Amino acid sequence: MQRLLWICFCWIPYTMWGVSIEGYVKNAANQPLIDVEAYLEETTQLVKTDLNGFFRFEGLATGTYTLLVFAQDYNTHRQQLSLTSETVELTIVLEKLSRNLTTVEVSAESTLNGVRHLRGVEGVAIYAAKKSEVIQLDQLQANLATNNAREIYRSVAGLNVWENDGGGLQLAIGARGLDPNRTSNFNTRQNGFDISADALGYPESYYTPPAQALQRIEIVRGAASLQYGTQFGGLLNFKLKEGKLNDPFEFISENTVGAFGLFNSFNSVSGTKNKASYYAFYQRKQGDGWRPNSGFEQNTAYMDVHYQFTPALRMGVELTHMNYLAQQPGGLADFEFAQNPRQSKRERNWFKVNWNLAALHFDYDFSPKTHLNFRNFILYAERDALGELGPINRPDPLRARDLIVGQYRNFGSEGRLLHKYQLRNQIANFLIGYRYYQGYTRNRQGDAFANSDADFRFLNPSNLEQSDYEFPSRNIAFSPKICLMSERSGRLRLAFAMSTFALLQTAIINSGCFRAARSFLNAN
């Protein structure tokens, strides 16, 4: 009788809960592999490994099962298992996928017009449950030589596009019904750092990277964009190309000739040698314009060098220079446009931009679960507007021209720490970051020479007729963020993000630093 009770006591739980298969998935270096898919053919069950590389199948009946383990960049593991009344414990080591293949060319037509969405966690940023678009430049059929915004951004819903010139010198886009002028309602960045005149006080963008040098364009709108700045339109980040892998040197030259004197020459070099990789380009663009007095000349140069000090530590340096000179034909009244839209009433108006950027960034991997990124950047730039600023419905009086000079001296530093961890059998991501930004803008306005050429000199530089202002600004921000994701059968079931951004985010204008020229004060 006692023997019968013992058999029943052992057999009933087994029939209720069944047996299990559990194990760990590692690589050749004995490191756990995260998010690896384990699949049972007979039951079609699919589970994923946690942060320790552990997986488990429960409630299985006795019998023979086929286990398959999939991981990106690794060979697929296949194993036959015979289950009895005991739990099967496994340790699976996946080998790196390496095969020598002959050359294969695959041609396909994109059905998404080169646009996708940012992943839930990408790099050291969390985009889960946020509205985002990524424009893949290599998948677009667009006129990249002239930065044609209508063609590049045509697949992003809700954008307004202005065209201020025929050469794509300045980008002018807006979202959510906001003014597109100089993209002032977007926080504009290049490789993750600010490139606008002053991100807080004067966020207008006079510099636009050449589309031929771009790998992709990232757009984030809505609440997610608040982690980058105060602009309501969102984030606009230009991601430039990097050094070509497995090739020490590559040279590309693209030259374009078009109507109205358009000439564009884009030349780039890139490569990877041992632990160093580099990418650099130079672009020369010029044209006469569709209307008289609308010619332009632009030069852009860029250099990016990365060095992998250790498998965990990587450092990069970026330098950018852009300058252009453009003549501005002026506007037209409605009846003048109806008479001849190509006419010009201004031949003494000019616009000049000199933009310089430098960035230094570090990436360090504490472990496969924890990644740290630091970036520091400097902007040293100037833009000058020269000409007759009177109403366009009046002829040019040929008097002394107005000259407006804007100087921008900005510095910023940002750091982000991303850590993956396990929370109740689910993979979660914790992100914490800081931002320090210090901007300085000086605007001066006064009379300039009355001639017609591009002479950007004040008549009285020590006693300006109009104004002389200084605008300092400072931004200190702290941002923790949590993203919890649970996946089953390859589908995202839950994405929750919680963020607290600005402990202090202010534009400070000190009365001691905000001043007008003495002549302006005396005159008013």
Alpha carbon distance 208, 194 (integer Å): 12
The mean pLDDT value of the chain amounts to 83
Q: What is the pLDDT of residue 231?
A: 73
How would residue 504 be classed by pLDDT, with cut points 50, 70 and 90? very low
For residue range 126-143, list pLDDT tens digits in order: 777 677 889 998 888 888
Q: What is the pLDDT of residue 491?
A: 38
For residue range 505-524, list pLDDT tens digits in order: 333 333 333 333 333 333 33
Q: What is the pLDDT of residue 522?
A: 38
The answer, yes or no, to whether residue 431 has pLDDT greater than 80, is: yes
Domains of the chain plus CATH, in order, are 16-93 (2.60.40.1120), 115-238 (2.170.130.10), 254-391+398-523 (2.40.170.20)
Alpha carbon distance 489, 473 (integer Å): 50
For residue range 354-376, list pLDDT tens digits in order: 999 999 999 999 998 899 999 99
CB 505 within 8 A of CB 451: no
Place of tokens 């991100």: 199
How would residue 221 be classed by pLDDT, with cut points 50, 70 and 90? confident
For residue range 452-474, list pLDDT tens digits in order: 999 999 999 999 999 999 999 98
Q: What is the pLDDT of residue 484?
A: 59
CB 481 within 8 A of CB 498: yes
HEC-encoded secondary structure of 103-150: CCCCCCCCCCCCEECCCCEECCEECCCCEEEEEEHHHCCCCHHHCCHH
Q: What is the pLDDT of residue 472?
A: 93
Mean pLDDT check: name the lowest of 288-292, 403-407, 420-424: 420-424
- CA angle, corner 81, sides to 75 and 86, nearest 5? 130
The answer, yes or no, to whether residue 266 has pLDDT greater than 70, is: yes
Of 494 and 3, more confident: 3
Residue 507 φ then ψ, to 5°: -105, 115
How would residue 63 be classed by pLDDT, with cut points 50, 70 and 90? confident
Q: What is the pLDDT of residue 519?
A: 35
Look up residue 510 and give its two tokens: 């000190």
Alpha carbon distance 156, 175 (integer Å): 10
Q: Which of 108, 9, 94 has its CA nearest to residue 49?
A: 94
Torsion of CA 512, 514, 517, 522, to 10 degrees: -80
Residue 3 φ then ψ, to 5°: -65, -40
CB 450 within 8 A of CB 424: no
Q: What is the pLDDT of residue 485?
A: 52
Contacts of 232 (CB under 8 A, 6+ apart): 176, 178, 185
CB 285 within 8 A of CB 167: yes
For residue range 334-345, list pLDDT tens digits in order: 999 999 999 999
Mean pLDDT check: name the lowest of 214-218, 302-306, 491-495: 491-495
- β pairing state of 491-499 and 467-488: antiparallel
Query: For the whole model, what pTM was predicted?
Result: 0.73
Q: Tell me what the mean pLDDT of segment 251-264 comes to.
A: 94
Q: Tell me what the mean pLDDT of segment 105-119 comes to.
A: 65
Spacing of C-alpha 457 from chain mean position = 37
